[in-house]
Amino acid sequence: MRHATPAVLLGTAFVLAACGRPEAPKYELGNAQIQGHYDKTTGKLTSITYDSNKNGKIDTWSYMDGARVIRIEIDKDEDGKLDRWEYYTPDQKLEKVGYSRANNGKPDSWAYQGPDGKVARIELSAISVGTGLQPGALPQIVRTEFYENDVLARAEEDTNADGKIDKWETYQDGSLATVAFDSTGRGTPDRRLVYARDGSVRVEVDPGGTGQFKPASKPR
């Protein structure tokens, strides 16, 4: 299934905004339907609905401030639940994209672009039942991944969802290099695993929280 790109929707927005009428005209692109919706008082364009695959069912909603795109929501599989959210900055740059890993119509992960247009950061929330979220509350971010040139470089994780990072990962050339853990709750790691290229693993400790790790003593 092919969906409208932001550029296509934005271009359509300018066409619709230029009409300047409260009554929203319908535009047909083959069998596909694009319809603009206007503020009844001001005549300002507020949204565009779009049937991307020409099957007669709306699957893309673009929310507008006149000719400016605010956000786009997409139901890619047309199951009645949104599965993609795109948010745009005032200068029309893509700020972040939300996804629903739980497929429940609510975003639970977000991808952020860097200045180069590549993914710079991904935030993941806890989607399992029993995370303590109140009705209507936003999902709590429990893992943040940082990317360099589209390759995972490091990650931070709150494994027990208490609001404090307790796991740190670093990557080298896309492969896991170290994993550090905070087993004391002090906010800094006290133990880490170091992975060598030959597949061996070294255990290091930092009981004092100085940031200086040393090899763990072997049990006697």
SS3 178: strand
The domain locations on the chain are 1-85, 108-220
pLDDT in tens, the chain (220 residues): 344 444 444 444 434 343 333 344 444 433 458 889 999 999 999 999 999 888 889 999 999 999 999 999 999 999 999 999 999 999 999 999 999 988 889 999 999 999 888 999 999 998 744 344 444 455 689 999 999 999 999 999 999 888 899 999 999 998 999 999 999 999 999 999 999 988 899 999 999 888 899 999 865 5
Question: For residue 174, what are its two tokens?
Answer: 């896309």
Query: How far apart (Å, rounded) are the C-alpha atoms in residues 153 and 172?
Result: 7
pLDDT in tens, 77-124: 999 999 999 999 999 999 999 999 888 899 999 999 998 889 999 999
The beta strands (E) that lie in the chain are given as 26-29, 32-38, 45-50, 60-65, 68-74, 84-88, 94-99, 109-113, 119-125, 141-148, 151-157, 167-172, 175-181, 191-195, 201-205, 214-215
Q: What is the dihedral of CA 14, 6, 125, 191, to 10 degrees?
A: -120
